[in-house]
């Protein structure tokens, strides 16, 4: 165990000591494949009571970051795209074809997956097992003659426990007994099982320790490298900068700016997020 004078220790040094590596290596952009050229999802002039004139697109294998201060409307946009909240006007195009997404079931059928920022209340089913939480969205695939094939479900869960490095003593363990990081891995395994085309991650490392964060980051890169379009909503600037190919900044329930990975830094992003007019 290392001991340091508190006045001589900063955040970077603490993280390095905790995870045994340089903080700059947490994201590993050098391991990223180039995003594809095919647009999966495009949103045009989307409006609701919670946001105004939202337009953006995302391509296969791209990681698109969304940043904004509290109340900026980031989560509300994602919930609307996922069919959880109503849209008043505007359009959503899926591979160039206009789609009406009026329910979460419709979004899932298209291939949109969504990990809520509220993992406890809108993500996990606390009193259910790791296995049951993981297989929730693919139960139909695990059924035969209307009954879930328990052995097949357990094999699926065991396989994903290994794949996502989930620390649990058993697939039957109640998910609330797992750490926040391992709960989040179960949710990632759940949504990846449906083979999504778009994966929306709202605050993917909220309440997770630094070591587990790095694992989640690696998984996000791996998922994007498989061709999945990933939207990362985060209030942590280093996270959104380190993960994203592009960053969309929201302010006052609308888009204030779009910044490339090369141009993204804390000053530029905060200027868009806080000022009434970017560049003031």
Predicted confidence (pLDDT) per residue in 156-214, tens digit: 889 999 999 999 999 999 999 999 999 999 999 999 999 999 999 999 999 898 888 99
pLDDT of residue 21: 46
On whether the CB atoms of residues 172 and 131 are closer than 8 A, the answer is yes
- State whether 177 and 83 are in the same domain: no
Tokens representing residue 59 in the block: 């391509």
The model carries a pTM of 0.86
What's the total number of domains in the chain?
2
Q: Which of 194, 222, 248 is the last residue of a domain?
A: 194
Res 19 pLDDT > 80: no
- State whether 103 and 215 are in the same domain: yes
Q: Which of 162, 194, 226 is the last residue of a domain?
A: 194
Rg of the chain on CA atoms, in Å:
19
Res 125 pLDDT > 80: yes
Predicted confidence (pLDDT) per residue in 224-249, tens digit: 999 999 999 999 999 999 999 999 99
pLDDT of residue 153: 84
H and E: helices and strands count for the chain: 9, 12
Tokens representing residue 54 in the block: 């939202």
Half-sphere exposure of 155 toward its Cβ, with a 13 Å CA cutoff?
Answer: 6
- State whether 162 and 278 are in the same domain: no
Give the pairing of strands 229-233 and 63-68. parallel
Predicted confidence (pLDDT) per residue in 214-224, tens digit: 999 999 999 99
Domain coverage including residue 146: 118-194
pLDDT of residue 137: 83
Of the candidates 224, 204, 219, the residue with the CA atom closest to the CA atom of residue 59: 224
Half-sphere exposure of 159 toward its Cβ, with a 13 Å CA cutoff?
Answer: 10
């Amino acid at each position: 165990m290392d001991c340091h004078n508190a006045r001589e220790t900063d955040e970077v040094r603490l993280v390095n000591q905790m995870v045994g590596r340089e903080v700059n290596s947490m994201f590993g952009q050098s391991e990223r494949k180039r995003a594809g050229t095919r647009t999966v999802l495009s949103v045009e002039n989307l409006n609701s009571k919670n946001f105004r004139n939202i337009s953006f697109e995302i391509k296969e294998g791209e990681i698109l970051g969304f940043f904004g201060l509290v109340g900026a409307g980031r989560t509300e946009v994602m919930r609307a795209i996922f069919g959880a909240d109503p849209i008043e006007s505007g359009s959503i195009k899926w591979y160039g074809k206009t789609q009406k997404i009026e329910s979460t079931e419709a979004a899932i059928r298209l291939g949109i997956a969504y990990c809520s920022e509220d993992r406890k209340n809108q993500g996990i089913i606390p009193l259910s097992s790791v296995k049951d939480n993981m297989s929730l969205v693919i139960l139909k695939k695990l059924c035969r003659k209307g009954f879930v094939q328990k052995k097949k479900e357990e094999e699926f869960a065991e396989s994903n426990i290994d794949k996502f490095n989930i620390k649990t003593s058993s697939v039957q363990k109640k998910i609330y007994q797992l750490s926040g990081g391992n709960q989040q891995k179960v949710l990632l395994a759940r949504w990846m099982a449906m083979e999504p085309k778009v994966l929306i991650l709202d605050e993917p490392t909220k309440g997770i320790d630094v070591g587990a964060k790095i694992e989640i980051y690696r998984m996000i890169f791996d998922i994007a490298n498989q061709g999945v379009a990933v939207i990362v909503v985060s209030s942590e600037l280093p996270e959104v900068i380190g993960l994203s190919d592009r960053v969309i900044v929201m302010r006052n329930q609308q888009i204030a700016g779009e910044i490339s990975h090369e141009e993204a830094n804390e000053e530029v992003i905060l200027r868009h997020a806080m000022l009434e007019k970017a560049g003031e």
